[in-house]
Amino acid sequence: MALYGLADCNNFFVSCERVFRPDLNGKPVVVLSNNDGCVIARSNESKALGVKMGDPFFKLERFFDENGVTVFSGNYVLYGDISRRVMGLLSKYTPQLDIYSIDEAFLDFSGMGSSDKVVAHARAMVREVRQSVGIPISVGIAPTRTLAKVASRFAKKYEGYHGVCIIDTDEKRKKALQLLPVGDVFGIGRRFQKTLELYNVKTAYDFVSLSEDWVKGTFKVPGWRTYRELKGDDCIELGDLPAKQSICNSRSFAGSGETDRTKLEEAIADFTAQAVRKLRQQHSACGQLTVFAYTSRFRPDLPSDMIHCNVAFANPTADLAELTAAALRGLRSCYRDGLFAYKKAGVLLWNIVPESHVVADVFSTEGSEKRKSLMQAIDNINRKNGRNTVHMAVAPQQKGYVIKSEHRSPQYTTDIRQIIRLKVR
């Protein structure tokens, strides 16, 4: 039987800031979006004050001052580097790690023994990540990825689980679904919630109690798959999972791995194209891109390495040329020719915002509408004639302006000039 774990970093952006500001533990903290526009991350204390995701900063600035809320501008270089460290530790605990977002990853625990042994294994992982990186994580374990997401919510909410919750029996599955509002189900959310409420479906358990034929006819294949997963039937692949605030495409290589840089670059370009296609399909743009590749953890006879490079964009983009160039630039900056056989590689698009929220780049020499039309034309051709009928070669582009970031913390882990300094008296 398959057994998946979902490792989720708790309040990730806030937790990253608290690693270097332990005085903020237990105090309200928020992190702002590009240009200090709105709230994109909140500590539990900020949530208790009523701060909502997406609240405009300018409307709450006085409220934050009056209530002692510490404000940070998004420090995505720091967050990307800490994510790299977390993912590197997680990969030690499973033969198969699938990065799902900047702060989440699925782990394959199949065949690792009894439930008690798997839970102990996961708790050791939680402790090591907290001790080595300073980031608290919650782990949900279940026979399907959707149920693992359910379990991770309980692991995060109730301290008695000590960071790890497992759903390994039908009794536990039913109890968890009875306690979970249907709108919080992975893959349902607000999209289907209103329809379900018309039929007095309030919990996930109410949802799985419906007729399978009705669910398939009403919500089509995606909703039907979620229904089956909640019943314990493993039927959703990683690429079928709903995009949150990130989109990831990755692949494992055959044999001992891939050593040829040209082939690795071709794979990264292909992953980027797939991710960008999904990005534009949901009418979004991304402000950050991470390219990663790592060697097998189960080949001690081969040298090990992990590439994890984060690229930030001054203005969120869905331009295939720009994103592919950035991904290749990130890969080339870390790749060492022929020294390592990379078993898995991928591209992660994150810090995703709606396309309508992107402010036009007044400094760009290229017509944004023409670029948008070009990308749309490429999408149409590839949709009609098959993926990669048209694929692009691009060069890195530098932009010479700086976005507003008045509350950004130092880049402690990536800039030697910004490391923490201690004074001994």
3-state class (DSSP) for residue 353: strand
Phi (first) and psi of residue 184, to 5 degrees = -95, 0
Q: What is the pLDDT of residue 191?
A: 64
Pairwise CA distance, residues 77 & 411, whole Å: 7
State residue 33's pLDDT score. 79
Antiparallel, parallel or unpaired: β 246-252 and 164-166: unpaired
| β 306-317/284-295 pair status | antiparallel
Q: Mark 254-289 as b/e (b = at least 16 C-beta within 10 Å).
A: eeebbbeeeebbebbbbbbbbbbbebbeeebbbbbb
DSSP 13-68: HHHHHHHH-GGGTTS-EEEE-GGG-BEEEE-HHHHHTT--TT-BHHHHHHHHHHTT
pTM of the full structure? 0.72
- 351, 290 contact by CB (below 8 A): no
| Mean pLDDT, contiguous 10-residue spans, the chain (425 residues) | 92 96 96 82 96 89 96 90 93 89 92 93 97 97 95 94 95 96 82 83 94 89 90 83 74 83 89 88 88 83 86 88 92 86 89 74 54 67 58 39 69 85 78
Tokens of 248: 């990831």
Rounded distance between C-alpha atoms, residue 224 and residue 383, angstroms: 25
The strand pair at 70-73 and 342-354 is best described as unpaired
Distance (Å) of CA 389 to CA 41, 264, 343, 377, 383: 39, 20, 27, 12, 9
Three-class SS state of 297? coil
Question: Helix (H, G, I), strand (E, B), or coil: what is residue 262?
Answer: helix
Please return the burial class of 418, using the count of CB atoms within 10 Å of its CB with bins 0-12, 13-18 and 19+. middle
| CB contact set of 137 (below 8 Å; sequence gap of 6+) | 7, 8, 9, 10, 86, 125, 126, 129, 130, 163
- Rounded to the nearest 5 percent, the helix, strand and coil shares of the chain are 45, 20, 35
Q: Are 153 and 184 in contact (CB under 8 A)?
A: yes
In DSSP terms, which residues pair with 194 in a beta bridge? none
All domains in the chain, ordered by first residue: 4-10+78-240 (3.30.70.270), 246-385 (3.30.1490.100)
* pLDDT the model gives residue 278: 85
For residue 399, give both structure tokens.
């932009």
Query: CA distances (Å), 105 to each of 161, 208, 316, in order?
Result: 19, 26, 24
| Dist. CA 245–CA 265, nearest whole Å | 25
Q: Phi and psi dihedrals of 252, rounded to 5?
A: -90, 145
Q: Which two tokens stand for residue 354?
A: 């709606």
Predicted local distance difference test score (pLDDT) of residue 133: 96
Pair 250, 347: CB distance under 8 Å: yes
pLDDT for the residue numbered 372? 65
Other Cβ atoms closer than 10 A to 44: 12
The tokens of 49 are what? 């004050």
